[in-house]
Amino acid sequence: MIVAITGIILILFVIGHLLGNLQIFIGPDWINGYSQHLRDLGPLLWAVRLFLLAAVIIHIWVTIQLAIENRRARPEAYMDKQYVKATFASRHMVMSGLIVLVFIIYHLAHFTVRVTDNRFTLLRADPLGHYDVYSMMVYGFQNYLVSGFYVLGLFLLALHLSHGSSSFFQSLGLNDKKLTPRLALGGRIFTWLLFAGYTSIPVAILLGLIKPAQQL
Partner 1 sequence: MNFQLRIWRQPNRKSPGKLVDYEVRDISPNTSFLEMLDILNENLLRAGKEPIAFDSDCREGICGTCSLTVNGEAHGPDHPGAVCELYMRKFRDGATITVEPFRVGSFPIVKDLVIDRSALDRIVQAGGFISARAGSAPEANSVTVPKHHADLAMEAAACIGCGACAAACPNGSAMLFTSAKVSHLALLPQGHPERESRVLKMVQVMDAEGFGNCTNTYECEAVCPAEISASFIAKLNREYARARFRRSMGE
Q: Give the separation between CA 6 and CA 164, rounded to whole angstroms.
A: 11
| 19 contributes a contact to partner 1 by CB under 8 A | no
Q: Are 178 and 142 in contact (CB under 8 A)?
A: no
**Which of 143/171 has CB closer to partner 1?**
171
Exactly one of 173, 207, 208, 215 binds partner 1 (CB under 8 A); which one? 173
**Which of 102/179 has CB closer to partner 1?**
179
Encoded amino acid at 138, one letter: V
DSSP string of 157-177, one letter each residue? HHHHHHHHHHHHHHHTT---T
Minimum CB–partner distance for residue 69 and partner 1 (Å): 6
**Which of 85/145 has CB closer to partner 1?**
85
Q: Give the separation between CA 131 and CA 128, rounded to whole angstroms.
A: 9
Exposure string of 119-140, with b = 16+ CB inside 10 Å and e = fewer, is ebeebeebeeebbbbbbbbbbb
Minimum CB–partner distance for residue 171 and partner 1 (Å): 6
Encoded amino acid at 57, one letter: I
**Which of 140/164 has CB closer to partner 1?**
164
Exactly one of 142, 143, 171, 200 binds partner 1 (CB under 8 A); which one? 171
- Scan residues 56-95 and list those touching partner 1 (CB under 8 A): 66, 69-70, 72-87, 90-91, 93
Q: Are 202 and 151 in contact (CB under 8 A)?
A: yes
| Interaction pattern, residues 34-53, with partner 1; x per rule: CB under 8 A | --------------------
Minimum CB–partner distance for residue 52 and partner 1 (Å): 23
Q: Give the separation between CA 20 and CA 12, rounded to whole angstroms.
A: 12
**Which of 85/121 has CB closer to partner 1?**
85
| 172 contributes a contact to partner 1 by CB under 8 A | yes
Minimum CB–partner distance for residue 12 and partner 1 (Å): 20
CA distances from 118 to 106, 129, 136 (A): 15, 21, 11
Helices marked H in the chain — which ranges? 2-21, 28-40, 43-72, 88-91, 93-107, 133-141, 144-171, 179-206
Minimum CB–partner distance for residue 105 and partner 1 (Å): 24
Q: Give residues in contact with partner 1 (CB under 8 A).
A: 1, 66, 69-70, 72-87, 90-91, 93, 163, 167, 169-177, 180
